[in-house]
Amino acid sequence: MYLLGIESTCDESGIALIEARGEKVKILAHELRSQIKIHQPYGGVVPLLAAREHKKNLPFLLTLIEKNFDLRKIDYLAFSVGPGLLPALVEGKEFTINLAKKFNKKIIPVDHLYAHFASVFIKNKLHVWQKIKKINFPVLVLIVSGGHTNLYFVEDLTKFKKLGQTIDDAAGETLDKGARALNLGYPGGPIIEEKAKRAKNVYPLPKPLLEKGLNFSFSGLKTAFNELIKEIKEAKGTIDEEEIYNLSASLQKTVFEILIYKLNKAREFYKPKEIIITGGVSANMTLRKMAKKFFRNIKVIFPERILSTDNGLNIAVGGYFLLKEKSLALEPEKIEVYPRKI
Ligand code: KG4
Ligand code: ZN
């Protein structure tokens, strides 16, 4: 069967087309338009601008796919219904519903976080049949992105138990805000990663809520980081490049140590067979190395780096799982988007 995956939750417009048969998938198209340049001057994503860009980008991406594929052959549309930015989701919804009505197709509503989970099961390889990756359940799944830091115990493709989440800022948001405090631009995660590579020293920073359960908290760390910047500025009169490297490394290291510490707590209690770390922040090589080094005797699985951040392919694959496991496919009129998790 053919599935189209449509992504518009935040600042990435994406559409992918997959062919799926049993335990195999073939990626026929994977189109993505990043909006980073549009939002960069504002230091973060502007929801209405994101919606305007999706409105322009999604039809354009579809024309690219249409060049090589007769859209009438599509069996289902998978669409990311949230959590995300409401104006962006609404734009994607309009687009998806119109398409579904035009071709008389059903829509598979795919949760944005579920799509991040689905991303680890496939390789980003076009035009070849690939086997869906086998995971040894139960697994712990940590989803770390710009909007979420969620930890789950997962028993099969659709059986999720949430163990913890952030009570304030998300991990990616902490890196984004840290980068903004250092005037490094947006999105902060990859910039911080680059700067941190050249650090000579790291400063100690607090790890709020560390010993208290499996929820996360980063806002105290953010405040302490801003204070540290102020102190250095007062002492030195400026934040020079070397301090930027050191500060970036300090923030990044602290955030990742918190993530790994909590993951380990959950691991001791729930005894999973494998660990999955996914979502935008999982693109970070330092996090990957730290996690692999720490969890020596348990497999830690990441998506391919390019699939860590939002894209239509993750939605298409997530949609296929939901259809296969739960027969989830709705008439277009039934599709609702949600900016927050419900
Ligand atoms: O999943 P995603 O594309 O969108 C959301 O669902 O939020 O994740 C975006 C987040 C941003 O906070 C961004 O700074 C972070 O992922 N990110 C990274 C890296 N690449 C993206 N954080 C750390 N290192 C990276 N290389
Ligand atoms: Zn995401």
Most ligand 1 atoms within 8 A of CB, residue of 145, 165, 311 to mutate: 145
Q: Which residues of 105-124 are buried (b: 16+ CB within 10 A; e: fewer)?
A: bbbbbbbbbbbbbbbbbbeb
CA neighbor of 145 nearest in space, from 185, 111, 186, 175: 175
pLDDT (0 to 100) of residue 341: 74
Q: What are the tens digits of pLDDT across the range 165-197?
A: 999 999 999 999 999 999 999 999 999 999 999
What is the chain's length? 342
- For ligand 1, say whether the CB of 82 is within 6 Å of any of its atoms: no
Give 120's DSSP letter: G
- For ligand 1, say whether the CB of 312 is within 6 Å of any of its atoms: no
| Sequence-ordered strand ranges (E) for 166-285 | 274-278
Query: Relative to the CA of 186, which ligand 1 atom is closest?
Result: 14
pLDDT (0 to 100) of residue 43: 87
- DSSP letter for each residue of 65-118: HHTTS-GGG--EEEEEEESS-HHHHHHHHHHHHHHHHHHT-EEEEEEHHHHHHH
Distance from the CA of 182 to the center of ligand 2, in angstroms? 24
> Quick check: helix, strand or coil at residue 277?
strand
- Low pLDDT (below 50) residues in the chain: none
- For ligand 1, say whether the CB of 284 is within 6 Å of any of its atoms: yes
pLDDT (0 to 100) of residue 260: 98
pLDDT (0 to 100) of residue 342: 60
